[in-house]
Amino acid sequence: QRLVIATHNPGKVVEFAALLAPYGLDCVASGALGFQEPEENAADFAGNARIKALAAARDSGLFALADDSGLMVAAMGGAPGVRSARFAADCGGFAAAMTAIIERTREEPRAAFACALCLAAPDGTTATYLGFCHGRIADAPRGAGGFGYDPIFIPHGDDRSFAELSKTEKNAISHRGRALRQFVAAHLGDV
């Protein structure tokens, strides 16, 4: 079964490849197929994941799985949330965005990552799965693994940042891993 992974983010592609490897799917990233990115103008993660999955399923004529995700910071009222990618761009990159978040979370560091995964069929049918990972913002960026905001996010129950975990360790507890295991259970059998 061929599945389009509807993302242009190479960090997500690496994690999906590892998470889906056991299931023998023929996965191809929408970025590699040259499909255009649709405008992500929904108000929440699930809405944006649906926009991306439907666009990729329409463009490819195949099943497509899209991920919309982000970091929700308690001291920032849940921001940057659904705007996490744009927040980094507005700050001039992830290094500056992480510094800005650290400065605003010294008193109240609680944060969570969220991930909405949407599977779209070529006929426009969709199914959506959500995953969360709770934790806190570190007092400085740490580690070189992962992508995006990983160096400043310390998952609950650990004292290392996501960027200090191995891929397997991150996937076992991450928002994306949790959402993906629901997708797998619903569509690919038991996990």
| Least distance from ligand ITT to the Cβ atom of residue 27, Å | 14
CA separation for the pair 10, 7 (Å, rounded): 8
**Using the rule CB under 6 A, is 164 a contact of ligand ITT?**
no
Task: DSSP letter for 5, please.
Answer: E
Out of 67, 119, 129, 173, the only residue in the binding site for ligand ITT (CB under 6 A) is: 67
Contact at 8 Å (CB) between 68 and 82? yes
Q: Judged by CB, which is closer to ligand ITT: 58, or 189?
A: 58
**Using the rule CB under 6 A, is 136 a contact of ligand ITT?**
no
Contact at 8 Å (CB) between 132 and 113? yes
In sequence order, what are the beta bridge partners of 72? 80, 112
Near ligand ITT by CB under 6 A, which window of 3-11, 57-65, 119-127, 179-187? 3-11
150 is catalytic: no
Strands (E) located in 48-146:
63-73, 110-120, 126-137
Residues that bind ligand ITT (CB under 6 A): 7-9, 12, 37, 40, 52, 67-70, 84-85, 88, 113, 146-150, 162, 174, 176
